[in-house]
Structure 1
Amino acid sequence: MTLKKLVNDLLGKKQTHVPTSEAEHLINFDLKILPAELSDLSTILELQKDCFISEAQSVDDYSIPPLTQDLTSIRQDHEKMTFLKGVINNRIIASVRGYVDSSTCFIGRLIVHQDFQNRGIGRKMMQAIEDRFADCDRYELFTGEKSSKNLYFYNKIGYKVFKREQLSDKLTLLFLEKHNKK
């Protein structure tokens, strides 16, 4: 579903053009960030696979964990981690997860539906997971070295690369951290 169609559905209109200001209004004021429930996991998993396909294409490796994860595995993650979902009009359009170990919050799999990217939702999701773990000393995450858009985004919100790990000829991960200013 495109952003235009979703906005039209939200507005109850059958118009072909949605002014950007209306779309922005809906996104900025109707986004709800909530704890994800067990019943949300199949939708989150589907969104995750849609979001990570471009990452797999960039490294020509379709066996990356976000694409191979199954429902059983994501349920196991849900038992150990805090999952947040971003919802607009009862539709999950974003998610992020995290857990704490030794005063570090490990953040993973920030995803935003492609029709809602570049509208501040990723930033809001990151702020929400950081707020959820506000007592941590630092936050840590990783992304692919070739993921220039992700690296730009994480740098913009205060994350800095501190480690590089080559997993294969095709895939190198960059680990980023941000110290909490409690």
Structure 2
Amino acid sequence: MNDLRIRHATISDIDTVLRFWREAAEGTSISDDHDGVTRLVTRDPEALLLAEQDGTLTGTVIAGFDGWRCSAYRLAVHPDFRRQGIATALLQAAEQRFATLGGRRVDAMVLEANERAHHTWAATGYHREDHWRRWVKPL
């Protein structure tokens, strides 16, 4: 992990990120397309964090902050690089971003069926609040 680098995504990374998510992330979202990720990177250039080892994309997280809530999305680590601390490093970078922006709490959206992700989030100090159920409507 000595060569792990965390950086912000740029517009030139978008196609690589989309390919990465198809391989490494569980499930897809209606906004997992070039236009959606372009809007994210253009609106908030520091939100999409990438983990790289030797120039290879190994992980991602979106660290979104709307001025009130901190939200973590798309935490994903390539299957060949899991259990090496990459998710932890990405979450630490996201949490540092949130702290710098004045955030006080992180909400994470995790697929109900993704048990592996539940273990990752728990291992990094997050807890589940079952009393909240999210309602979603595509625009």
Where does residue 34 of structure 2 map in the other structure? Answer: 71
Can you list the C-alpha shifts for 1:25-65, whole angstroms capped at 9, x where unaligned? xxx1000011111111111111011123xx34xxxxxxx41
**TM-score, reference length from structure 2:** 0.84
Where does residue 23 of structure 2 map in the other structure? Answer: 50
Q: Report whether the alignment pairs 1:142 with 2:113.
A: no
Where does residue 121 of structure 2 map in the other structure? Answer: 154
**TM-score, reference length from structure 1:** 0.65
Bigger radius of gyration: 1
Aligned-CA RMSD value: 1.8
Q: Report whether the alignment pairs 1:164 with 2:137.
A: no
Counterpart amino acid of residue 40 in structure 2 = D
- 1:82-97 correspondence to structure 2 within 5 Å: 82-97=47-62
Across the two proteins, how many residue pairs are aligned to each other? 130
Q: What residue ranges of structure 1 are gaps of 5+ in the alignment? A: 1-27, 57-63, 168-182
* 2:88 aligned residue (123, 144, 151): 123
Counterpart amino acid of residue 70 in structure 2 = C
Query: Aligned pair in 2 of structure 1 residues 99, 165: CA closer, same or farther (>3 Å)?
Result: closer
* 2:9 aligned residue (22, 36, 40): 36
Higher strand share: 1
Distance in 1 separating the partners of 2:97 and 2:19 = 24
Distance in 1 separating the partners of 2:39 and 2:135 = 26
- Which structure exhibits the higher relative contact order, with contacts defined as CA atoms closer than 8 Å and separated by 6 or more residues? 2
CA displacement at 1:90 relative to structure 2: 1.4
Higher helix share: 1
Q: What residue ranges of structure 2 are gaps of 5+ in the alignment? A: none
Counterpart amino acid of residue 158 in structure 1 = G
* 2:76 aligned residue (107, 111, 133): 111
Percent identity of paired positions between Structure 1 and Structure 2: 25
